């Protein structure tokens, strides 16, 4: 039986944010086609990465999630939908996704460091 990582709850939060992001274009009647496509494609990428991280964690998945989150923050200016409600939504979700991915990476790093220290202490005895 597979052990559930404590950090997996962060992947669940990312998944929920991505589902909200996928449905967001329905709420932006005046959002451009580019904004709709960007939000939906980013959401699909985050959904896939979050599910993959829950099934078999690997640090690269969190790095890519962080990159997609950062993309959501800068994409309104790059793709030309700045100063719209879709922009604010994209930035807010992007910051949350990036934060959760960075937190997951940090918690994994701390756990690995703690395990290394405890195994070193065990070897000394």
Please check the confidence at residue 59 and state whether its pLDDT lies above 70: yes
Q: What is the CB-side half-sphere exposure of residue 98 using CA atoms within 13 A?
A: 14
Please check the confidence at residue 47 and state whether its pLDDT lies above 70: yes
Q: Among 20, 74, 19, which residue's Cα sits nearest to residue 48?
A: 19
Please check the confidence at residue 7 and state whether its pLDDT lies above 90: no
pLDDT band at 30 (very low <50, low <70, confident <90, very high): low
The whole-model pTM stands at 0.83
The phi-psi region of residue 122 (left if phi > 0; otherwise alpha if psi is between -120 and 50; otherwise beta) is alpha
Please check the confidence at residue 18 and state whether its pLDDT lies above 90: yes
pLDDT at 108: 84
Please check the confidence at residue 4 and state whether its pLDDT lies above 60: no
């Amino acid at each position: 039986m597979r052990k559930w990582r404590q950090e997996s709850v962060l992947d669940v939060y990312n998944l929920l944010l991505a589902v909200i992001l996928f449905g967001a274009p329905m709420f932006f009647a005046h959002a451009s086609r580019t904004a709709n496509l960007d939000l939906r494609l980013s959401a699909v990428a985050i959904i896939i990465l979050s599910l993959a991280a829950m099934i078999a964690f690997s640090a690269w998945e969190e790095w890519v999630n962080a990159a997609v989150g950062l993309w959501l923050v800068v994409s309104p200016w790059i793709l030309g939908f700045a100063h719209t409600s879709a922009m604010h939504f994209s930035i807010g979700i992007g910051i949350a996704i990036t934060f959760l991915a960075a937190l997951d990476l940090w918690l994994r790093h701390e756990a690995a460091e703690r395990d290394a220290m405890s195994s070193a202490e065990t070897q000394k005895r």
